[in-house]
């Protein structure tokens, strides 16, 4: 299993200045609960985005930014810290349905679906070649994200729009795993993308 971020029993863990901190809930010190909540939100967001940084650097590279100096990763951090973390401190957690990995003007994949079988995740969609802004050379980018371990499989140069399917082969796990899935389009020149789309959660088990 990977690093536990969040509440566990009478303790809460989060990243503070790049280091993992674990403290007892209710202990009073020089930090306020509001400050701890902000640090925990930052820690959860950092843990969420680090495994998909390569995709974010494509998916948000050309999106409008509040400040010229912001990078794609800074933009992703700002967006997801606000909208993809839910709950009230110390019971904060990631809302995977609201995670944003790409923002753009290419039409999103039509009727996207995802299925898990034989150690493989298959993403499918309808080509929708006639949609305004669509191009036959658009490719899919796909993500299979593992919340328990904060790891991800990223497909950054996937199948073209007209192929209507893309597979991600998984390793063999020894215990049940949750998998959160996402898809978006990227143009051939890597300068345009669609918004990312959340496809839902899959459950892998050895049975």
pLDDT at 5 over 90: no
DSSP H helical ranges for 30-154: 33-49, 53-59, 72-83
What is this structure's pTM? Answer: 0.84
- Among 48, 70, 98, the domain boundary falls at 98
Same-domain pairing of 115 and 199: yes
Determine contact, residues 200/183, Cβ cutoff 8 Å: no
What's the confidence (pLDDT) of residue 16?
Answer: 62
The CATH number of the domain where 127 resides is what? 2.60.40.10
Domain hosting residue 87, numbered range:
6-98
For residues 127 and 80, membership in a common domain is answered with no
Across residues 127-156, what is the average pLDDT? 96
**CA distance between the termini of the chain:** 19
Which range (37-41, 77-81, 119-123) has the least confidence?
37-41
For the residues 113-124, what does the mean pLDDT come to?
95
């Amino acid at each position: 299993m990977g690093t536990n971020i969040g509440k566990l029993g009478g303790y809460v863990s989060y990243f503070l200045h790049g280091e993992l901190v674990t403290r007892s809930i209710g202990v009073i010190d020089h930090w306020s609960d509001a400050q701890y909540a902000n640090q925990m939100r930052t820690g959860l967001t950092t843990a969420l985005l680090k495994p998909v940084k390569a995709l974010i650097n494509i998916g948000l590279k050309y999106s409008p930014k509040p400040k010229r100096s912001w990078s794609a990763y800074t933009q992703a951090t700002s967006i997801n810290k606000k909208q993809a973390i839910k709950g009230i401190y110390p019971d904060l957690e990631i809302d995977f349905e609201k995670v944003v990995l790409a923002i753009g003007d290419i039409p999103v994949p039509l009727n996207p679906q995802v299925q898990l079988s034989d150690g493989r995740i298959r993403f499918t969609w309808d080509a929708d070649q006639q949609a305004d802004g669509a191009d036959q050379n658009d490719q899919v980018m796909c993500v299979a994200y593992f919340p328990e371990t904060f790891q991800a499989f990223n497909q950054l140069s996937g199948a073209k729009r007209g192929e209507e399917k893309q597979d991600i082969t998984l390793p063999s796990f020894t215990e049940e795993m949750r998998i959160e899935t996402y898809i978006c389009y990227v143009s051939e020149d890597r300068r345009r993308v669609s918004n990312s789309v959340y496809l839902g959660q899959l459950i892998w088990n050895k049975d």
